[in-house]
Amino acid sequence: MAIGDKMIYHTMCIKENKNGFECFTFKSNVDREETKTVPSVMGFYHFPETMDEQKAKQKLKECLIKEYKKEILRLQNNVDSLMKL
């Protein structure tokens, strides 16, 4: 398939809850124009039906972990700065 063709996309979400995190997938049966998609730091990923759910989950997890680590580093820098004040 080429960009611009029709394809079905599903949406995977990873959300925080009181016990940690949960992952769920919304399956769609509606065609939409094929586009390049990437995981979002907001916790969702619109992935093509041709992609394995485990692969989509891994990509989304990696995106979120990378962003969480950046935020932890930013917060640690703020703590260090405050301690020097």
Domain assignment of residue 35, yes or no: yes
Would 1 be classed as within a structural domain? no
Taken in order 59, 21, 53, 24, the sign of the CA dihedral is negative
* Alpha-carbon span 18 to 29, nearest angstrom: 32
Q: Look at the chain and report how many structural domains it folds into.
A: 1
pLDDT tens across 24-39, in order? 999 998 888 888 899 9
Structural domain harbouring 39? 6-84
Q: Is residue 43 part of a domain?
A: yes
The whole-number pLDDT of residue 81 equals 97
Per-residue pLDDT tens digits for 62-74: 999 999 999 999 9
CA distance 59 to 62: 5
Query: Is 68 among the domain residues?
Result: yes
